[in-house]
C-alpha cells in the first residue's frame, strides 16, 4: 500500500488510451471560451476565415479539373476545326479566372487569420494577466508561501500572452486542415470509396501515435515541475542584482551553475528518450500513410491510362493527394505543439480556481470600543510545520500603552504580528480588538487601523514620494503628506539632497534610479508607516536595526511622542530601545517566558535581566 502510494506520487499517472488520445484537446474548449470572452467579433472572424481557408483548397482543385478538361475538349474541337479559336477559349479562360478568384480568396482568408490572431494575442495576453493579478489580490499569505502554489502563479504569469492563443490557433489550424481533408475526401469518394477508406486507415495510426506521445510529454512535464522550478530559481540567483553581490564574493557561480547543468542533464535524458521514440514511431507510422497515399495515386494513374478517368480528373486527384499530404503533416505539427499549451492552461486554471476560503466579517466597530487588543490562549502552527510557532499566548494592550516583544531569533515575535494583522488566523484561541474577534471585523477597516513595518519591508522601485504614499493609498500622491511623514521618519534631510527630491526614482531597475543605504531605506519605511494617520495600532518589527545610534534614539523619542494615545507594538533586539515600553514580553519557543515592565523584570532577575546586563556590558 505504502509503495503503491509512493509510486503514485512520483510517477506520472497512467490513463486509458482514449483519454491519453483526447488529452491534447483537454483544454481547447477552455482556451476557446477565453478567446470568446476576450472578443466575440474576432473569434467569429477567426472561425469564418478558418472555414474559408479550409474549404477553398478543394474548390481550387475541382476548378483545376474543370480547366484541364475544358482545355483538352477545346484542343480536340480546334483540331477537328469545329469552331473558331476565340469561341473555344471563352469557357476555358472563365475557369482560369475562377481559379484565380479562388486563390485570391484563400490568400484573403489567410491574411485575415494572421491579422485577427495578432490582435487577439495582444487582447488575450492582457486579459489573462489581469485575471492572474486580480486573483493574486484575493489570496492569503499562506497560499503565497506554499511553494507549489507559488510555482503555479509564476508559471501562469510567464507565458500568459502566448499560450492561450497558441492553443486556440492550433485548434483552429487543426480544424482548418480537418475541413480541407474532409473536402478532399468528398472529391475522392467520387473516384472510389475504397481509395478513401485506404487513405483514412493509412493516416490514422500516425495521428493516434502523435496524440498519444503528446499526452506522455504533457504528463512528463507536469511531473518534473519541481526540478524546473529549481532551475528557474538558480537562474534568478545567478542573474539578479540583489543576489549577485553575494554570489560573486562567495564564489558561488561554479557551484550553482553546476547544479543548474545537472538538472538540465537529467531532464534532457528523459526528453531525448521521448523525442526519439516519438519521432521513430512518427516516421514508421507516417510511412504507412505515405504508402497508402501513393498506392491510391498509382491507382489513379492506372485508371487514367486505361481511360476510366479524364486528364482533368487525374490533375485534380494529383493536387488532392499533394495538398492532402501537406494538410496531414500540418495537423500533426499542430497536435505535437498542443501539449505544451495544454500544460500551460492546466496550470493557469488550477491557479485561477484555487479556492479563497477566507471568511471576513462586517464589523467596523468593536463591541467594547477602547478595550484594545487581547490575545486569549492563542496558538498557531504554520501550514506544513510540525511544531507550533506560538502557543498559549495571552496578552492585553490598551490604547496609550506600548508593548515590546523580545526573544531569540525564531522565537515567534513576527508570527505574533502576522496574527494580529490577520495575515494568518490562530489555530487555537482568539484575538480580540475592542472586544470583538478579529474574524468578525471587516478586513479593510481592520487593516486601516494598523500601521506596520516588517523587517522585510518592500523597497518599491518607484519615486521617493510614492514609496511614502504607499502607506496610505488615499494620499498616495499627496506631497504635503509625504513631507510630513518624511519629517517624522527622519527621512527629510537625505531626501532634500536627492537630485529630484521627492520625485527621485528609487532602486536600480529603472533609468536614473538612485540606490539608498540600508538605514535610509528603513527611514523611508518608517515614514511610510507614519503616513497611516488613522492607524491607532503601530507595529514596528525591528525598524531601526540598520540605523545609526543617534537616528535610532531620535526615532524612538518621536515615536513615543506620536504614539501617546495609540497602541504600539515594538520588536527589537536592542534593550536600550525596549526598556521604555509599558509592557515587555519575553518570548521563547513560541511561549511567553516572562512579562512585566523593565524595573519589575530586572527585579525578577530572570532571562530578561540577564540579557539586559549582557548587552549593557557590551556597550560599557
Ligand X SMILES: Nc1ncnc2c1ncn2[C@@H]1O[C@H](COP(=O)(O)OP(=O)(O)OP(=O)(O)O)[C@@H](O)[C@H]1O
Residues at the contact surface with ligand X, assessed by CB under 6 A: 145, 382, 385, 389, 407, 409-415, 455
Structural contact between residues 58 and 327, judged by C-beta atoms closer than 8 angstroms: no
Give 23 or 407: the residue with its C-beta nearer to ligand X: 407
How far is residue 339's CA from residue 335's CA, in Å, rounded to a whole number? 7
Give 145 or 303: the residue with its C-beta nearer to ligand X: 145
Give 195 or 406: the residue with its C-beta nearer to ligand X: 406
Query: Phi-psi bin for 206: left (phi > 0), alpha (psi -120 to 50), beta?
Result: alpha
Give 177 or 568: the residue with its C-beta nearer to ligand X: 568
Instruction: Calculate the CA dihedral of residues 441, 447, 450, 454 and round it to 10 degrees.
Output: 130
Query: At closest approach, how far in Å is the CB of 607 from ligand X?
Result: 14
Helix (H, G, I), strand (E, B) or coil at 278: helix
Query: At closest approach, how far in Å is the CB of 386 from ligand X?
Result: 10
Query: At closest approach, how far in Å is the CB of 142 from ligand X?
Result: 8
How far is residue 219's CA from residue 387's CA, in Å, rounded to a whole number? 35
Structural contact between residues 289 and 203, judged by C-beta atoms closer than 8 angstroms: yes
Query: At closest approach, how far in Å is the CB of 464 from ligand X?
Result: 27
Query: At closest approach, how far in Å is the CB of 244 from ligand X?
Result: 25
Query: At closest approach, how far in Å is the CB of 123 from ligand X?
Result: 38
How far is residue 490's CA from residue 154's CA, in Å, rounded to a whole number? 37
Query: At closest approach, how far in Å is the CB of 570 from ligand X?
Result: 13
Sheet-wide strand order for 567-571: 450-453, 537-541, 567-571, 402-406, 583-588, 591-596
Q: Name the phi and psi angles at 605, rounded to 5.
A: 70, 25
Structural contact between residues 178 and 171, judged by C-beta atoms closer than 8 angstroms: no
Give 289 or 388: the residue with its C-beta nearer to ligand X: 388
How many CA atoms, within 13 angstroms, populate the side-chain half-sphere of residue 417? 23
Give 46 or 405: the residue with its C-beta nearer to ligand X: 405
Give 406 or 438: the residue with its C-beta nearer to ligand X: 406
What one-character DSSP code corresponds to residue 12? P
DSSP per residue, 534-577: T--EEEEESTTTTS-HHHHHHHHHHHHHHTTTSEEEEE-S-HHH
Query: At closest approach, how far in Å is the CB of 163 from ligand X?
Result: 31
How far is residue 462's CA from residue 301's CA, in Å, rounded to a whole number? 74
Give 416 or 526: the residue with its C-beta nearer to ligand X: 416
Query: At closest approach, how far in Å is the CB of 406 from ligand X?
Result: 9
How far is residue 138's CA from residue 298's CA, in Å, rounded to a whole number? 65
Query: At closest approach, how far in Å is the CB of 133 from ligand X?
Result: 22
Helix (H, G, I), strand (E, B) or coil at 425: coil
How far is residue 234's CA from residue 221's CA, in Å, rounded to a whole number? 19
Specify the length of the chain in residues.
620
Give 172 or 454: the residue with its C-beta nearer to ligand X: 454
Query: At closest approach, how far in Å is the CB of 344 from ligand X?
Result: 28
How far is residue 253's CA from residue 290's CA, in Å, rounded to a whole number? 51
Q: Which residue has the cell 551553475?
A: 257
Structural contact between residues 378 and 385, judged by C-beta atoms closer than 8 angstroms: no
Give 418 or 488: the residue with its C-beta nearer to ligand X: 418
Give 407 or 451: the residue with its C-beta nearer to ligand X: 407
Q: Which of 522, 516, 488 is nearest to 504 (CA)?
A: 516
Give 9 or 386: the residue with its C-beta nearer to ligand X: 386
How far is residue 531's CA from residue 465's CA, in Å, rounded to a whole number? 11
How far is residue 601's CA from residue 581's CA, in Å, rounded to a whole number? 12
- Measured in whole angstroms, the distance separating CA 75 from the mean position of its chain's CA atoms is 66
Give 363 or 422: the residue with its C-beta nearer to ligand X: 422
Structural contact between residues 132 and 156, judged by C-beta atoms closer than 8 angstroms: yes
Helix (H, G, I), strand (E, B) or coil at 595: strand
Q: Which of 428, 356, 340 is nearest to 390 (CA)?
A: 428
Structural contact between residues 442 and 363, judged by C-beta atoms closer than 8 angstroms: yes
Q: Which residue has the cell 502557543?
A: 391
Give 149 or 382: the residue with its C-beta nearer to ligand X: 382
Amino acid at each position: 500500500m505504502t509503495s503503491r502510494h509512493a509510486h503514485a506520487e512520483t510517477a506520472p499517472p497512467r490513463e486509458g488510451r482514449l483519454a491519453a488520445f483526447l488529452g491534447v484537446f483537454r483544454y481547447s474548449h477552455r482556451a476557446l471560451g477565453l478567446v470568446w470572452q476576450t472578443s466575440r467579433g474576432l473569434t467569429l472572424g477567426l472561425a469564418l476565415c478558418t472555414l474559408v481557408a479550409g474549404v477553398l483548397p478543394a474548390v481550387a482543385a475541382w476548378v483545376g479539373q474543370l480547366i484541364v478538361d475544358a482545355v483538352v475538349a477545346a484542343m480536340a474541337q480546334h483540331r477537328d476545326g469545329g469552331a473558331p479559336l476565340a469561341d473555344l477559349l471563352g469557357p476555358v479562360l472563365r475557369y482560369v479566372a475562377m481559379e484565380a478568384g479562388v486563390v485570391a480568396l484563400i490568400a484573403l482568408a489567410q491574411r485575415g487569420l494572421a491579422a485577427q490572431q495578432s490582435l487577439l494575442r495582444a487582447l488575450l495576453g492582457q486579459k489573462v494577466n489581469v485575471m492572474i493579478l486580480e486573483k493574486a489580490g484575493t489570496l492569503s499569505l499562506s497560499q503565497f508561501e506554499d511553494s507549489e502554489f507559488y510555482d503555479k502563479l509564476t508559471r501562469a504569469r510567464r507565458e500568459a500572452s502566448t499560450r492561450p492563443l497558441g492553443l486556440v490557433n492550433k485548434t483552429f489550424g487543426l480544424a482548418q486542415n480537418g475541413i480541407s481533408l474532409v473536402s478532399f475526401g468528398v472529391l475522392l469518394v467520387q473516384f472510389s470509396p475504397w481509395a478513401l477508406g485506404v487513405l483514412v486507415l493509412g493516416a490514422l495510426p500516425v495521428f493516434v501515435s502523435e496524440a498519444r506521445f503528446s499526452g506522455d510529454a504533457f504528463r512528463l512535464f507536469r511531473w518534473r515541475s519541481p526540478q524546473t522550478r529549481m532551475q528557474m530559481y538558480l537562474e534568478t540567483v545567478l542573474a539578479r542584482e540583489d543576489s549577485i553581490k553575494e554570489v560573486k564574493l562567495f564564489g558561488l557561480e561554479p557551484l550553482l551553475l553546476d547544479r543548474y547543468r545537472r538538472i538540465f542533464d537529467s531532464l534532457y535524458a528523459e526528453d531525448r528518450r521521448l523525442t526519439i521514440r516519438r519521432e521513430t514511431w512518427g516516421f514508421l507510422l507516417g510511412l504507412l500513410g505515405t504508402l497508402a497515399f501513393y498506392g491510391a495515386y498509382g491507382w489513379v494513374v492506372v485508371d487514367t491510362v486505361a481511360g476510366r478517368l479524364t486528364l482533368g480528373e487525374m490533375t485534380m486527384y494529383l493536387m488532392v493527394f499533394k495538398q492532402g499530404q501537406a494538410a496531414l503533416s500540418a495537423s500533426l505539427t499542430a497536435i505535437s505543439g498542443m501539449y505544451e499549451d495544454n500544460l500551460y492552461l492546466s496550470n493557469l486554471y488550477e491557479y485561477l480556481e484555487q479556492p479563497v476560503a477566507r471568511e471576513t466579517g462586517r464589523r467596523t466597530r468593536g463591541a467594547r470600543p477602547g478595550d484594545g487588543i487581547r490575545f486569549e490562549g492563542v496558538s498557531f502552527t504554520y501550514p506544513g510545520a510540525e511544531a507550533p510557532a506560538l502557543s498559549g499566548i495571552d496578552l492585553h494592550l490598551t490604547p496609550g500603552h506600548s508593548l515590546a516583544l523580545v526573544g531569540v531569533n525564531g522565537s515567534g515575535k513576527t508570527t505574533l504580528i502576522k496574527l494580529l494583522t490577520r495575515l494568518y488566523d490562530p489555530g487555537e484561541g482568539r484575538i480580540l480588538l475592542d472586544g470583538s474577534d478579529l474574524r468578525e471585523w471587516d478586513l479593510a477597516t481592520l487593516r486601516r487601523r494598523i500601521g506596520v513595518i516588517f523587517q522585510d519591508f518592500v523597497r518599491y522601485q518607484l519615486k521617493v514620494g510614492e514609496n511614502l504614499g504607499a502607506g496610505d493609498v488615499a494620499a498616495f500622491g499627496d506631497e504635503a503628506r509625504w513631507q510630513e511623514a518624511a519629517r517624522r521618519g527622519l527621512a527629510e534631510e537625505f531626501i532634500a539632497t536627492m537630485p529630484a527630491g521627492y520625485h527621485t526614482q528609487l532602486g536600480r531597475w529603472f533609468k536614473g534610479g538612485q540606490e539608498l543605504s540600508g538605514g535610509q531605506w528603513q527611514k523611508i519605511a518608517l515614514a511610510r508607516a507614519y503616513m497611516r494617520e488613522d492607524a491607532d495600532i503601530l507595529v514596528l518589527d525591528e525598524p531601526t536595526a540598520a540605523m545609526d545610534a543617534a537616528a535610532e534614539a531620535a526615532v524612538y523619542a518621536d515615536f513615543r511622542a506620536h504614539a501617546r494615545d495609540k497602541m504600539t507594538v515594538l520588536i527589537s533586539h536592542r534593550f536600550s530601545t525596549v526598556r521604555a515600553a509599558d509592557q515587555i514580553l519575553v518570548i521563547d519557543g513560541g511561549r511567553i517566558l516572562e512579562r512585566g515592565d523593565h524595573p519589575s523584570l530586572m527585579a525578577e532577575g530572570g532571562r530578561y535581566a540577564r540579557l539586559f546586563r549582557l548587552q549593557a556590558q557590551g556597550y560599557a
